[in-house]
Amino acid sequence: MTATDSNSIHARIAALATEAEQCTRCGLVKTRNKFVFGEGNPVTPMVFVGEGPGETEDQTGRPFVGRAGLLLDECMREVKITRKHVYVCNVVRCRACVMDGGRLKNRPPTTDEAGACEPWLRRTLEIIKPLVIVCLGGPSASTLIHSDFKITRERGHFYETVYGPIAMATWHPSYVIRQEGAAFAQVRAQLVADIDAARRKVIELRKAAG
């Protein structure tokens, strides 16, 4: 890739992010503080896609910066990947929340909200053109891989998708955090192994492409 190509990808992602900040495609616009477009290196073969921003992400405008994000960074580091190597974003770009006991609590985004946000995801991936997409959790995999994706049965496998040549799903880091003791150690190790498998898949695809 030439420096001009790389600059063009950075510029197109920045322009898309600026356009997205004005988004009113669904009701989440009413409660969001920040549109959490995504961040990292858009000139990358690997994109991580989560479900949607939580409170910390909504406040900062950055994806995966809360507890789940810290675990994701830690697991990536174990296979020598940092955010400088990859791009990180979400299926839904604004925090989905509900008022509970006088304060806003995170909730899963609805199918309609995911549908409304789909053009931002599709256009992000069209610019980056990753070789491998890593879906973090079942909802991301249901959007990007197939609609009745079962994370317990199908995680760690590689699928062809319309969004990029290859996608795989692994545990959402928030799910890993909720486990205790031996279960925590087991699913955390699986998350690391899946990220490493995605890294090795990139190497394999690059070799095959010559």
- Positions touching ligand URA (CB under 6 A) are 50-54, 57, 63-64, 66, 68-69, 90, 174
Taking the alpha carbons of 139, 206, 194, 189 in that order, is the dihedral positive or negative? negative
Smallest gap from Cβ 88 to ligand URA, in A, equals 8
Residue number with the shortest CB distance to ligand URA?
50
Nearest CA among 14, 200, 88, 9 for reference residue 1: 9
- Residue 46, exposed/middle/buried by CB under 10 A (0-12, 13-18, 19+)? buried
Q: Which is nearer to ligand URA, 57 or 113 (CB)?
A: 57
Smallest gap from Cβ 69 to ligand URA, in A, equals 6
Q: Which is nearer to ligand URA, 65 or 192 (CB)?
A: 65
* Backbone torsion region of residue 80, taken as left when φ is above 0, otherwise alpha when ψ lies between -120 and 50, otherwise beta: left
Smallest gap from Cβ 61 to ligand URA, in A, equals 11
Q: Which is nearer to ligand URA, 8 or 59 (CB)?
A: 59
Smallest gap from Cβ 95 to ligand URA, in A, equals 9
Q: H-type helices in the chain, by residue range?
A: 3-20, 55-60, 67-78, 111-128, 138-144, 151-154, 173-178, 181-209
Cα dist from 14 to 6, 11, 37, 155, 207, whole Å: 12, 5, 10, 32, 30
Q: Which is nearer to ligand URA, 8 or 175 (CB)?
A: 175
Smallest gap from Cβ 208 to ligand URA, in A, equals 31
